[in-house]
Structure 1
Amino acid sequence: MTEYKPWLSLYPEEIPKELIYENQPVQDFLKKTAAEFPEKTAVHFMGKEFTYSYIYEAALKLAGYLQSIGIEKDDRVAVMLPNTPQSVISYYGILLAGGIVVPTNPLYMERELAYQLKDSGAKAIITMDILFPRVSKVKQQTDLQHIIVTAIKDALPFPKNLIYPFIQKKQYGIVVNVKHEGNHHLWTEILKLSSLPLSEQEIDFENDLALLQYTGGTTGFPKGVMLTHRNLVANTAMCRAWLYKCERGKETVLGILPFFHVYGMTTVLLLSVLEGNKMVLMPKFDAGDTLKTIQKQKPTLFPGAPTIYIGLLNHPDIEKYDLSSIDSCISGSAALPVEVQQKFEQITGGKLVEGYGLTESSPVTHANFLWDMPRIKGSIGVPWPNTDAVIFSMENGEKLPPGEIGEIAVKGPQVMKGYWNRPDDTEQTLRDGWLLTGDLGYMDEEGYFYVVDRKKDMIIAGGFNIYPREIEEILYEHPAVQEAVVAGIPDPYRGETVKAYIVLKDGNEVSEEDLNVFVRKHLAAFKVPRVYEFREELPKTAVGKILRRALIDEEKKKFTEDEEKQA
């Protein structure tokens, strides 16, 4: 750890500068909370509630079943589910069995799914009935031995559980019937069984993996990030310390962020179970449904991503809903435009601040203060307790003083063990204990950090370094703009040129010239986009992060094709 940590002087007295973590596996969160709050609601899902004692008993039953079909310590088990009670039970059941959880995006197509299952060596997968055909098709390419199948209806109250299959058939056009036999296992049959013997596994807190979390794979193939029990326990404890005004067992957390993404897993699933809070789970984001859910369930904590908050703000009926229950929101996964932050706070009366992290850091390393501190425009905040951060020069790797731009590096107990079966990638990313983030930024004199952009996303046009995030912030201030992303596209003269992709708010019109005039009022001429493209929607990850890289790849392909035609 470096000695120079100016941010520590900013901490309110309620946040400890150093935390001591219990030497416990992640599954102990559920064991202890179920003992303390057995009859408290752990999960609300589409009208049905599940207590902590139910979730724990179901997880124990699943764990015993997994061991009975051959799952041993450190075996990988994939979970390909949306946010449902089954996803919570699966997560803790796998850990109680001694396995390693491999979260898998339900939107993955066969090629993506086959790659992740093969790379992780998963022996079993827990998935939805409508995804069973997809899993079955790739099974022979992987080490999969068992498929456990559940359905949305398995978690619904009567009579929704009877009606839902008809809705599902209409929506997806298929009905999948799986028999509980051989290597195919039905969730409902497993939970009917008497509890099977469970051999408790001894966990090495420091070194044993709890999670094999795959990165988004926006460049190259996704990499499996090895996160230990200590990594996750530490980051969850940091999260609890940061939210010091939240009361144990009394908060309601809106669970829209998917659990197959590490941000949703830590800030919703792990934190809620550690604190005995109620999770209101939604299997997918829909602005209208979310507004109704907030009004009815009155969540107090709402971790999210910028596109989620933007989607709510631009819903035509937002003023009709009571959102006043929302007290605290930490935004992650992408830069939070200041305009979005301010509007969301005005409408809800709660606090929305930007945080920062990576899959490789479990994920959070920085955040702004939610309470009792002045707002710092454009900052990702300061490092969390027990977390260190520096700026390294891109030229010589030396630590830079405040105000100078370089690569952000972090160090702390939440930093990954490494990449699964990728020692070379691990060596490039972890250096002397520092996690090199790939993000360019700087620290100010007080200790607040700022991200100017991803190292790979920086645009070099005509010899100038241009940071897309700076331009995007200006575009978001235009009243007609709902979403904006800026990228460097090939240019035969300048090397790269600046292009802006724009999604307009419903009912709004604006021309390229209008936007050009607007941006020129705020930025130097060399930063102003030379090209604008208006789109109905932008490509995004499951968490709502805009895929800038996909747009750049489109442009490179077009540029190459144009060159070939000219040749």
Structure 2
Amino acid sequence: MIRSEEDVRAIEAQPFAEVYPQRSPWDILRHQAEVRPDAVAIRYLHDATDPKRDELVTYADFAGRVMGAAKVFRSLGVTADSAVAILTQHTVYGEVALWGAQVAGRACTINPMLKPEHIAGLIEAAGCKAVVIMGVNDELNYWDSVVPALREAGITLPILACDADQPSPGADGVFEEMIAAADGPDIVPEGDETALAGYYHTGGTTGAPKLVQHMRLNEAHVARSCAIMHDLGPDDVVVNGFPLFHVAGAFVYGLSTLSAGGTLVVPGRLGMRNAAFMGSIWKQVERLGITVIGVVPTILATLKATPVDADISSLKWLLTGGSPLPTELADAAEKQVGVPVRNILGMTECAGTIAVEPVHGPRTPMSCGLRLPFTEVAVFGETDGDADPTKRLGAGETGIVALRGPNVAAGYSDPARNVGTFLDGGWLVSGDLGMIDAEGRLFITGRKKDVIIRGAHNIDPQMIEDALLAHPEVSTAAAVGMPDAYAGELPVVFAELRAGSTVSEAELIDFLKGRIDDPVALPKRIGMVEAMPVTPVGKIFKPTLRAEAIRWAVAATADKLGVDATVEVDDKLATRVKVPGSDVEKMKDALAGMPISLTVMAA
């Protein structure tokens, strides 16, 4: 049981092989199929309003389908040095495709909501030999738009349809049927724990694929470590509505639960956007005996606002990560639901986990928790603006957060991108500013790496800036995150226009719609400035812009509530909001999800 840094060290006193006996996802799944073949690995909710439609997949059945998928992929030419592109929601056959691809070769899970030309670039960069896409259905049908566009973009690979409700035009096969018909000897994965298992795309410049290379041990280590830190066991029933193209869905909540022999509850194609499931969340906890719910802070805010209308005594923990966890939100959720909230910090480049607040330890405001067993987390000083491993800082000192260990990936598929992120000595630079206290807890205090976090999606500001600078009337552009009580942050951009320009905000938004590949990266607002704030050396000074974005967000919330508010933001972005005394609690509640240092007081 992990409560403190001392407990982590006690685990490290054991041989690594005893703590992590399975060194790949397939080893984990095969082991569980052997020791608990009839236990339920996945409960998939086809219809949250009709329990009779729940699909229960045992560990033995699951492992059998994964091996069948591997045989299908091998028959299509997938080998150890090639991959399968997977564009599905979090479904049973999405899981089967992910792990089956790793047995036959490598998996490349892709957000199907990206623009087709960007998807095509990722498919080519990953060296894919086959593609699996969710077929035509009434809930979320991207087959009819994505598949023709991929063909037009020159993707000639076999494209298989899965999880369809009706025929999918242009499919080269139905994945489920092909698995059922697969025969021949089982496939033995080639290579050891350091072999590449998968590619995960992360925020990058428009049109330029940016793929993280996961080794098998990266994924297995994170899965087992999260199970240890969250004290998961065979009796746990864990809600995982994250997509599989996100490391949280695949490893932090998904493979971790399977490594413990527990049951994953997957709330249909729409995940946590499933209105029927979320509208009956507490009744679902009672019906299914749910013990853990994994969410991002935006969904935690929804749970906080949902009255408990059922017996939820089975529920033990609410786990959250993906974006900063506001303390007031965590406090309010714990008060409303009656169970502890624990935080996680991760990134794609380390299979989803840097630090975890152990469920049996205290929740410390603004802390991300403790490092994983057999890893190092350090805080470095800078040399010429970059993290310098020779300048390791002590407890309580603020610098750039870095880590190394079995969770750290093998770099990007394009080695040129490794500079400044993957350093000599095995260090991965997170891009966050933070400090480690005397008890070993990690705190994030800011960002060195300029990234916007919307929900659990990382957005590269340069992607937005480059797209906007292509407009002939824009001379300078700077994108930042605007705090949002639901999404954590929303992308906004400031533009300095050329002299005499009359272009409007609406015209610039329309211009960006055709140039930004990821819909979640489209700015919610464009602010026109006469002159960008700059540092003494002429670099754009984004804290000034972030302060303005905070004012926008708070003012918009006050307007929506009909509250007269005065907003003050200091040079460290600490925000004070003054409202009439009768409106303080209402304003606090509305702003609770915003990841900012916030004080609401009576005017």
Range of TM-score over shorter length: 0.7 to 0.9
Name the SS for the 1:418 alignment partner.
coil
Q: CA deviation at 1:449?
A: 1.6
Q: Give 2:7's match in structure 1, choosing from 2, 6, 11.
A: 11
Distance 1:74 1:547 in 2: 41
Is contact 2:308–2:337 with CA below 8 Å preserved after alignment? no
Deviation at 1:51, TM superposition (A): 1.4
Give the structure 2 partner of residue 108 of structure 1.
114
Aligned length: 476
Q: 2:320 aligns with which of 314, 331, 356?
A: 331
Q: Is the 8 A contact 1:300 1:326 kept in 2?
A: yes
Q: Secondary structure at the match of 2:331?
A: helix
* Candidates 203, 224, 232, aligned match of 2:191: 203
Verify: 1:49 aligned to 2:50, yes or no. no
CA distance in 1, matches of 2:399, 2:572: 24
229-238 or 485-494: bigger deviation: 485-494
**Deviations 1:34-80 (Å, cap 9, x if unpaired)?**
11111111111121212112112222222212222222222110111
CA distance in structure 1 between the partners assigned to 2:90 and 2:558 by the alignment? 29
The structure 2 residue matched to 1:255, chosen from 240, 247, 250, is 240
Aligned-partner residue type, residue 96 of structure 2: I
Counterpart for residue 137 of structure 1? 149
State the identity as a percent.
Answer: 23
Contact 2:343/2:356 (<8 A) preserved: yes
Q: Paired residue for 2:102?
A: 95
Q: Give the secondary structure class of the aligned counterpart of 1:88.
A: helix
Which residue does the alignment assign to 1:382?
370
Of 204, 229, 237, the match for 1:217: 204
> Which residue in 1 is equivalent to 2:440?
447
- CA change 1:68–1:17 in 2 (3 A) is same
Alignment-derived partner of residue 355 in structure 1:
344
Instruction: Give the Cα–Cα distance (whole angstroms) in 2 for the partners of residues 221 and 424 of structure 1.
Output: 12
Alpha-carbon contact 1:408-1:438 (below 8 Å) kept:
yes
Alpha-carbon distance change, 458 to 100 in structure 1, aligned in 2, over 3 angstroms: closer
Equivalence map 1:69-84=2 (5 Å) = 69-84=76-91
| Residue number in structure 1 paired with 2:415 | 423
Please tell me whether the aligned partners of residues 121 and 143 of structure 1 are also in contact (alpha carbons under 8 angstroms): no
What secondary structure does 2:32 align onto?
helix
**Cα drift, residue 323 of structure 1:** 3.9
Summarize the Cα distance change of 1:375–1:278 in structure 2 as closer, same or farther, 3 Å threshold: closer
Match of residue 187 from structure 1: 175
Q: C-alpha deviations, 1:200-251, integer Å up to 9, x for none? A: 2332212x1111111133788441101101111222221122123x33x211
State how far apart, in whole Å, the 2-side matches of 1:36 and 1:23 are.
13
SS in 2 for 1:280: strand
Letter in 2 for 1:435: L
Partner AA of 2:128 in structure 1: A
- Structure 1 unaligned runs (5+)? 1-6, 154-164, 166-174, 460-467, 531-544, 549-567
Q: Secondary structure at the match of 2:57?
A: strand
The residue identity in structure 1 corresponding to 2:349 is E
Shift in Å, 1:265:
0.7
Instruction: Write the distance in 2 (CA, Å) between the matches of 1:415 and 1:190.
Output: 35
Which residue number in structure 2 is paired with residue 307 of structure 1?
298
Q: What does residue 370 of structure 1 align with?
A: 359
CA separation of 1:407 and 1:524: change in aligned 2, threshold 3 A = closer
After superposition, residues 123-134 of structure 1 pair within 5 angstroms as: 123-130=129-136, 131-133=142-144, 134=146
Cα distance 1:24–1:143, how it changes in 2: closer, same or farther (>3 A)?
farther
Offset at residue 293 of structure 1 (A): 3.2
Q: Distance in 2 between matches of 1:488 and 1:506?
A: 22
380 and 190 in structure 1: CA distance in 2 versus 1, 3 angstrom threshold: same
Alpha-carbon distance between aligned partners in 1 of 2:494 and 2:449, rounded to the nearest angstrom: 13
Matches within 5 A, 1:51-66: 51-66=58-73
CA contact (8 A) 2:37 2:60 kept: yes
Q: RMSD across aligned C-alpha pairs, in angstroms?
A: 3.4
8 Å Cα contact 1:16-1:241 kept in structure 2: no
Q: Is the 8 A contact 1:104 1:260 kept in 2?
A: yes
SS in 2 for 1:302: strand
1:128-165 Cα distance to aligned partner (Å, 9 max, x none) = 11333412421354565211111244xxxxxxxxxxx5
Which blocks of at least 5 consecutive residues in structure 2 are unaligned?
Answer: 46-53, 137-141, 453-479, 496-528, 535-543, 578-592, 597-603
2:394 equivalent among 393, 401, 406: 401
Residue 195 of structure 1 deviates from its aligned partner by 2.5
1-side partners of 2:10 and 2:315: how far apart?
Answer: 21
Task: Give distance in 1, aligned partners of 2:363 and 2:260.
Answer: 27
For 2:444 and 2:493, locate their aligned partners in 1 and report how far apart those are by CA, in whole Å. 18
- Farther-moved stretch of structure 1 (136-145 vs 301-310): 136-145
Q: 2:168 aligned to 173, 176, 180, which one?
A: 176
Q: What does 1:150-161 align with in structure 2 at a 5 Å threshold?
A: 150-153=162-165
TM-score (norm 1): 0.75
Instruction: Give the whole-Å Cα distance in 2 for the aligned partners of 1:351 and 1:406.
Output: 30
> 1:68 maps to what in 2?
75
Residues 309/528 of structure 1: CA separation in 2 closer, same or farther (3 Å cut): closer
Q: 1:123–1:143: 8 Å Cα contact kept in structure 2?
A: no
Query: Which shifted more, 7-16 or 115-124?
Result: 7-16
For 1:547 and 1:525, how far apart are their aligned partners in 2?
14
Per-residue CA deviation, residues 350-376 of structure 1 (Å, 9 max, x unaligned), is 2211111110011211112211x3331
Aligned pair partner of 2:159 in 125, 147, 150: 147
Deviation for aligned residue 1:16: 4.8
Conserved 8 A contact 1:254-1:281: yes
- Deviation at residue 524 of structure 1 after TM alignment: 7.0
The 5-angstrom pairing of residues 261-280 of structure 1 reads: 261-280=246-265
Q: Which amino acid aligns with 2:160?
A: I
1:415 CA displacement: 0.3
Deviations 1:373-403 (A, max 9, x none): 3331111112111111111123463222333
State the partner residue of 2:537. Answer: none
Deviations 1:523-545 (A, max 9, x none): 67975499xxxxxxxxxxxxxx9
Shift of 1:199: 3.8
SS in 2 for 1:425: helix
How far is 1:484 from its partner?
6.2
Q: Which one of the candidate residues 234, 238, 247 is aligned to 2:221?
A: 234
